[in-house]
Amino acid sequence: MFAVAQDMGYGDKQLTVVFGTKGGRPRQTRMLDWEALIQTVNQALAVAAAYNGRLIDKPDLKSAINRWRSQTALAGLKGQYSPHSLRYAWAQDAMYYYRQQGFSNREASALVSMDLGHGDGRGRYVERVYGKSNGFAL
């Protein structure tokens, strides 16, 4: 994991996501704030070093996910504050970023769709689910 963190160059705008993807399919995703990403990865590495190389010290992924869900719920992170809401917020930020780069709404939606792992043909889905449900006019 440390080698991956070292390989993250500031010149690259995309990051390859290999583990934890839906269906195990690797994908590229746009990094909107490299400084925040590097800081977060370094914090995650420090936590993992203290817990047997894992962010959540559980024997398998399913039990780690269950632990994560139960702890976020106990912390009151539900509804609009749920961990999945971060995905919605990121999608909205990415849409704004792409629009500021000169992409049309359709192009920006397709790019966000690919960043989220849906594929370029799901742009309208991204607009409907990640945009309007949060009051973001695309």
Residue 7 pLDDT: 52
Q: pLDDT band for position 47 (50/70/90)?
A: very high
Which of 68, 93, 109 corresponds to the end of one domain?
A: 68
Same domain (yes/no): 1, 53:
yes
Same domain (yes/no): 59, 107:
no
Terminus-to-terminus CA distance in the chain, angstroms? 37
3-state secondary structure of 86: helix
Which of 49, 68, 87 corresponds to the end of one domain?
A: 68
Q: What would the pLDDT profile of 66-115 be if each residue is shown by its tens digit?
A: 998 899 889 988 877 777 788 888 888 888 888 898 988 888 888 888 88
How many alpha carbons lie under 13 Å from residue 20 in its C-beta half-sphere?
Answer: 8
Residue 58 pLDDT: 92
Contacts of 56-63 with CB under 8 Å at 24 or more apart are: none
What is the count of structural domains for the chain? 2
Reply yes or no on whether the pLDDT at 43 is more than 80: yes
Sign of CA dihedral 109, 115, 120, 122: negative
Q: What residue numbers bound the domain in which 138 lies?
A: 76-138
Max mean pLDDT range (5-9, 24-28, 112-116)? 112-116
Kindly state the helix (H) or strand (E) to which residue 78 belongs, with its residue range. Answer: none
Which of 18, 38, 68 corresponds to the end of one domain?
A: 68
